[in-house]
Structure 1
Amino acid sequence: MNSTKKHIHYLGWIATFTAFLMYVSYIPQILDNLNGIKTNPTQPITAAINCFLWVCYGLLKEEKDWPIAIANSPGVVFGLIAFFSAL
């Protein structure tokens, strides 16, 4: 693997980690929703749909794009939980 490909590979996994953290940050919103402090459900359902599409893209490519699929997987789960708990 040449130097540029190596850097891009690491960048992909760093971006995966930060995206994972972004979606895990829904946990406080979910807890607020469950404790009766309801939030707007529009953003989490939009994020869940967007993440689902990116997961599909990453897994359905001929050469799977694991960083994209992994980074967006928690967005599907936590986005849906935040959405349904906000209702």
Structure 2
Amino acid sequence: MNNSKKAILVGRIASIMSILMYVSYFPQIINNLHGQYGNPVQPLVACINSSFWCSYAFLQEYKDWPVFIANLPGIIFGLITFLTALH
């Protein structure tokens, strides 16, 4: 396997792991909705970080869609987790 194929494989795995990381907010969102509030700081920082990465990917001359798609759930689920953690 040459370096280009290795880079593509690593990029795909990293994208999947990024999406899974943000989807893992589901349990915290459910707990928040049931009154067991978590700390809102980490999901807010994740949302802001993901917003910067999505902006970076979108502002490139050739759009970096894998980076954009991998970080979009971070904006959505980070914001939902943050808002539901406020009490």
TM-score by length of 1: 0.93
- Give unpaired runs (5+ residues) of structure 1: none
Shift of 1:3: 2.4
For the aligned residue pairs, the C-alpha RMSD in angstroms reads: 1.2
Kindly indicate whether residue 86 of structure 2 is the aligned counterpart of residue 80 of structure 1. no
- Residue of structure 2 in register with 1:25 after alignment: 24
Structure-2 residue corresponding to 1:43: 42
1:63-74 alignment, distance < 5 Å: 63-74=62-73
Q: CA deviation at 1:35?
A: 0.3
- Normalising by structure 2, we get a TM-score of 0.93
Task: Give unmatched runs, 5+ long, in structure 2.
Answer: none
Identity of aligned residues (%): 50
Q: 2-side partners of 1:3 and 1:66: how far apart? A: 23
Deviation string 1:29-49 (CA, Å, 9 cap, x unpaired) is 000000000111111111000
- Matched to 2:71, the amino acid is N
